[in-house]
Amino acid sequence: MAGVAVGGIALGAIGGYSLVTPKETIIEKEVEVPQEVPEYPWEYKKLDVEAVKDRAYAAYFDGGCAYGTFEGVVGELKEKVGFPYTTIPTKMAVWGKGGIVGWGLTCGAITGAGMALNLVTDNLALVNEIVGWYTTEEMPQYMPAVARKVEGELVKSVSGSPLCHASVSSYTDAADCEENSPERVERCGRLVADTAGKVAEMLNALADGTFTSTFQVPASVAECLSCHGADGPINNVFTKMDCTPCHGDPHTN
């Protein structure tokens, strides 16, 4: 890629002599240089929450749940802010799908949210809030203009857990459907939209200086941690997850 600019030629006469002014040729050679990436964390511009949801829902069907949330937020930032968000390949979040390629670990909607949040801010209270919110929010709420798998309202449920496996099984119980059914897939797509929208809401609030944490660790967890947590006599457990879905009450069972 090299542009060529040719200088003009002027003719004149001085003292009976023809004079030809020098011909000047300027060859512009474009040299690619890495643009200087600004200091982290990067500039944020407030996002349209509904646009984020729509983009996240569409992205879910292109690369799964973690990509859905990440592309929903970062894709909009590419349009709104541009560089340096344009350097981020959002497909780097696909790995989180199905709680990490089907392991049923952290719900990918949360993984994509964590990546997006922490790209924009180093305030980790927002990450804690999205996990807590996910466990207590009745979802899905998002209603796509054109549904991909199942039209109309879906059964809603509260996951009670940030784990994909627990979230999916709680949904199949609530909706009386199979884990690989169109209803469950549709539910996860809409839940991704809900989660991406919540991320954008929180980031917008942070930009406005109005963000506050609301999630409280459930009383049942606090009770378990009073012995098993850092301030307890046993001190062998590190979590904020609800203990009972996995362990019941091991002291009475």
Of residues 40 through 99, those in contact with a second copy by CB under 8 A are: 40-42, 82-84, 86-89, 91-96, 98-99
Is 61 in contact with 71 (CB distance < 8 Å)?
no
Q: Which range touches a second copy (CB under 8 A), out of 2-10, 47-55, 149-157, 193-201?
A: 2-10
Among the listed residues 151, 173, 223, 249, the single contact to a second copy using CB under 8 A: 173
The yes or no reply on residue 35 touching a second copy (CB under 8 A) is: yes
The yes or no reply on residue 140 touching a second copy (CB under 8 A) is: no
Quick one: tokens of 193?
């939209």
Q: Long-range contacts for 207-212 (Cβ within 8 Å, ≥24 apart)?
A: 207/44, 207/45, 207/46, 208/46, 211/123, 211/125, 211/126
For a second copy, which is the closer residue by CB, 9 or 155? 9
The yes or no reply on residue 136 touching a second copy (CB under 8 A) is: no
The label of the residue with tokens 């098993």 reads 228
CB of 50 to a second copy, least distance (A): 25
Q: Which range touches a second copy (CB under 8 A), out of 45-53, 118-126, 137-145, 193-201?
A: 118-126
CB of 226 to a second copy, least distance (A): 14
For a second copy, which is the closer residue by CB, 145 or 231? 231
Picking from 146, 93, 138, 96, the residue whose alpha carbon sits closest to that of residue 119 is 93
Quick one: tokens of 170?
């709680």
Residue 68 main-chain phi, psi, to 5 deg: -55, -55
Name which of residues 181 to 220 contact a second copy (CB under 8 A). Answer: none
CA distance 59 to 8: 53
The yes or no reply on residue 20 touching a second copy (CB under 8 A) is: yes
